[in-house]
Amino acid sequence: MSPFTLRKTDSRTLARRGELQTAHGTVQTPTFMPVGTQATVKAMTPADLEALDAEIILGNTYHLTLRPGIDIIAAAGGLHRFMGWNRAILTDSGGYQVFSLSPLRKVRPNGVEFQSHVDGQRLFLGPKEAMAIQRQLGSDVAMAFDECTAHPCGHDEARQSLDRTLRWAAVCRSQERAPGQLVFGIVQGAVFRDLRERAVAEIATMAFDGIAIGGVSVGETEEEMVRVLDWTGPVLPPALPHYLMGVGTPRQLVLGVCRGIDLFDCVLPTRVGRNGSAYTLGGALPVKAGRFKDDFAPIDPQCTCYACQHFTRAYIRHLLNVGEILGSHLMTVHNLHTYLDLMRRVRAHLDAGTFADFAEDFLARCAAPRAE
């Protein structure tokens, strides 16, 4: 039986309303997954995340292998017990680090040799190694090991990279997995339509439990990212959950939902929050800026999060400027609430059959980034 149930589709867009069954609960889709790279969502406790009703978060194979080490996590009983999180976890395979740590790695036919960014030691990750580590972590969703190319890259480089990703995907699909663990394949191909369509077609034949679009949010413009979604969205297997990796702003989440995406993750709400900016449904607000030093309004008067219900911009700005941890915490609470509440609104409009009008209005109010 498929772990994904498609409950409803929008008549005017490719948006979908669904449910993903995992070993640690049902995930309502579309949804946003907070990023917990190193077994924690920065500045948040598991109780904080539960209060926000986050149903699934992320961990990272590469980073957890380096610190604290897979043996320690396995001895603790797996990643859920180690970090005290009882809901679903998706683990990235380390493929993104092939891009982000490009000065510290060498791509081989059977995997990637990394030089640790922590202490310089060698770490080899290939499809077999990445799947074995994720099996020990015991994540609910394991990602196939892929190669994420930089932007820009030429067609020939992208094709060779895709060839590797597809070979590795076939190996990943055949590996042993943890009890109840789902495995998603990843579509690569840079900004080339023929490669993206080929990737979807070949990944779709491998009987994965879900399909992800990788290799976006790596330096391309929003217009280029949307173009990739316009190519891939209509040909993604409808029976599988669709995951857009590493995206994005609130505006980009709605653009993705319109193109058939069910799952999103991104470091922006936590990272931007710690650096002093708050997301609202009308855009970003630089709370750390001097003009808010005596502003006693909440971050967002329309927001129902704990930070907005109890504190002012002036107070939170003060915390940020004196380096108090509470400032980072409150900003992160607000930003994650904004993202998760946006997804709740999206699901409600899909249920009511009013999503297309909601999306049109939202995107009109939430302006596209200016070209530089």
What is the DSSP track for 100-114?
Answer: HTGGGEEEETTEEEE
- Check 146, 265, 300, 341 and give the catalytic one: 265
HSE-CB at 48 with a 13 A cutoff on CA atoms is: 19
Instruction: Name the nearest CA neighbour of 356 among 366, 346, 365.
Output: 346
Strand arrangement of the beta sheet that strand 111-115 belongs to:
105-108, 111-115, 122-125
Residue 372: which pLDDT band, with cuts at 50, 70 and 90? very low
At residue 103, the pLDDT reads 92
265 catalytic? Reply is yes
The domains of the chain are located at: 4-266, 268-367
Residue 212 above 80 pLDDT? yes
**Within 10 Å of residue 106's Cβ, how many Cβ atoms?**
11
Check residue 5 and give left, alpha or beta (phi > 0: left; psi -120 to 50: alpha). Answer: beta
Mean pLDDT across 270-291: 95
Across-strand partners of 31? 263
Question: At 158, which amino acid appears?
Answer: A
pTM score over 0.85: yes
pLDDT in tens, 309-334: 999 999 999 999 999 999 999 999 99
pLDDT in tens, 66-99: 999 999 999 999 999 999 999 999 999 998 998 8
- Check 92, 140, 209, 262 and give the catalytic one: 92
Mean pLDDT across 191-217: 97
Query: What does pLDDT average to over the chain?
Result: 96
The architecture of the domain spanning 4-266 is Alpha-Beta Barrel (3.20)
Residue 368 above 90 pLDDT? no
140 catalytic? Reply is no
Residue 43 above 60 pLDDT? yes
| Token digits of residue 360 | 């049109």
Instruction: Name the nearest CA neighbour of 165 among 194, 190, 141.
Output: 190
